[in-house]
């Protein structure tokens, strides 16, 4: 059903995502409605399908972004204290912007992208809206160039939630280390002992005492989390 969520307009796309159970509540729905995917996806922005954004990279289908937010749940939705969220493989900046709508007034979202041109593209895309410009100017959203497998090496602070938008060969320990206790990560990982390139999305939960629990959600097909192209 998720793949049937396409719409002609942003409102129709979001309504279809909600109708198919991809969007869990009104706050998340309003966040998706407040960010125009047309600013971040070059063609057919309201089609529920991935598409190329250049540099051998794709922007995920809208239902995958919705599922990521749904499974990260309370760890991205901030109140007065705000949430701190890392978006690994931030690409064109679409999900980074949506997360910024959810983390609360005192929250922060850091997008990490290993391709410098995509980092600049994400900033340019956010500047297409007044709200996006304000998020960048306030520092609530920032984009950094770096190896996503190492997380945000520009800071020693940790994150309530980490979203990874590319498939890792194995679970990166650096990302686990940068997850708060409690905290949650949403990450696709290559299936073990699989010669066909299958991948699965996992949630990685770190409890208050530091205990890490891994839960498999579903199979996917993502671009790999790799070194930047030379």
> Rounded CA gap, 66 and 124, in Å?
23
Instruction: Decide: 85 and 74 in contact? Cβ < 8 Å.
Output: no
User: For residue 94, which of 116, 70, 66, 55 has the smallest C-alpha distance?
Assistant: 66
Q: Residues 98, 34, 68, CA angle at the centre, nearest 5°?
A: 30
C-alpha dihedral, 20 to 26 to 31 to 34, nearest 10°: 90
Question: Tokens 């760890």, residue?
Answer: 75
Q: Which of 6, 34, 52, 60 is catalytic?
A: 60
- 200: annotated active-site residue: no
Catalytic residues: 60
């Amino acid at each position: 059903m998720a793949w049937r969520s396409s719409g002609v307009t942003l409102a129709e796309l979001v309504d279809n995502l909600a109708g198919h159970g991809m969007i869990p509540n009104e706050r998340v729905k309003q966040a998706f409605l407040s960010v125009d995917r047309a600013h971040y996806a070059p063609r057919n922005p309201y089609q529920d399908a991935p598409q190329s954004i250049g540099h051998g990279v794709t922007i995920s289908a809208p239902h995958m972004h919705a599922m990521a937010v749904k499974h990260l749940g309370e760890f991205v939705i901030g109140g007065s204290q705000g949430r701190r969220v890392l978006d690994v493989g931030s690409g064109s900046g679409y999900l980074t912007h949506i997360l910024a709508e959810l983390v609360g007034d005192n929250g922060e979202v850091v997008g990490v992208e290993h391709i410098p041109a995509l980092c600049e593209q994400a900033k340019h895309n956010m500047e297409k809206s007044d709200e996006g410009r304000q998020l960048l100017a306030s520092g609530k959203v920032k984009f950094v160039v770096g190896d996503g497998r190492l997380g945000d090496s520009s800071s020693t602070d940790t994150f309530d939630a980490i979203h990874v938008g590319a498939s890792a060969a194995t679970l990166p320990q650096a990302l686990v280390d940068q997850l708060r206790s409690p905290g949650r990560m949403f990450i696709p990982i290559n299936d073990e002992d699989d010669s066909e390139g299958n991948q699965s999305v996992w949630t990685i939960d770190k409890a208050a005492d530091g205990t890490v629990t891994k839960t498999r959600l579903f199979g996917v097909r993502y671009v790999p989390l790799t070194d930047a192209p030379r």
